[in-house]
Amino acid sequence: CTFKGTLDRSSISMDVQMLRSRGCCDSFHGYAHNCCCMLENHPLYLTDFGIEDLFTCECFFSSMNGVAPLVCHTSPFHWLQFVDLHLQQ
C-alpha cells in the first residue's frame, strides 16, 4: 500500500513523525487490496481500536438516508422530531 509512503512525502510528514501518528485502513480494505497491507494496517491488529470498524459515520448517514423521504415535506419542527425519534430507536 502506498499510503504510508505518500504520508511520508507529504507536507505534514514532520508532524506525523513528531506525533508518532500512523495510518490505518477500514475493516474491508485488505480484501479488495492486498493481504500484507491489511495485516499491517487493519484495526484488528492495531492497539487501542477496540471493536471499531471505522464505518460508524457511513452507517449513521446510511440510516439517515432512510429518513429523508419521510421528512422532506415536513415542517422544521416535525423534521427534528422525526430525526430524534429515528435516532432513539
| Total count of domains within the chain | 2
Residue 51 falls within a domain, yes or no?
no
Residue 13 falls within a domain, yes or no?
yes
Work out the percent of the chain whose per-residue pLDDT is above 70.
80
Q: Are 14 and 41 part of one and the same domain?
A: yes
- Condensed to tens digits (0 to 9), the pLDDT of residues 7-30 reads 889 999 999 899 988 777 766 665
CA 85, CA 74: separation in Å to the nearest integer?
14
Residue 50 falls within a domain, yes or no?
no
Q: Are 41 and 17 part of one and the same domain?
A: yes
Confidence of residue 1 (pLDDT cuts 50, 70, 90): low
Q: Are 8 and 41 part of one and the same domain?
A: yes
pTM over cut 0.75:
no
Residue 34 falls within a domain, yes or no?
yes
Q: Range of 30's domain?
A: 3-45
Q: Are 63 and 39 part of one and the same domain?
A: no
CA 89, CA 86: separation in Å to the nearest integer?
5
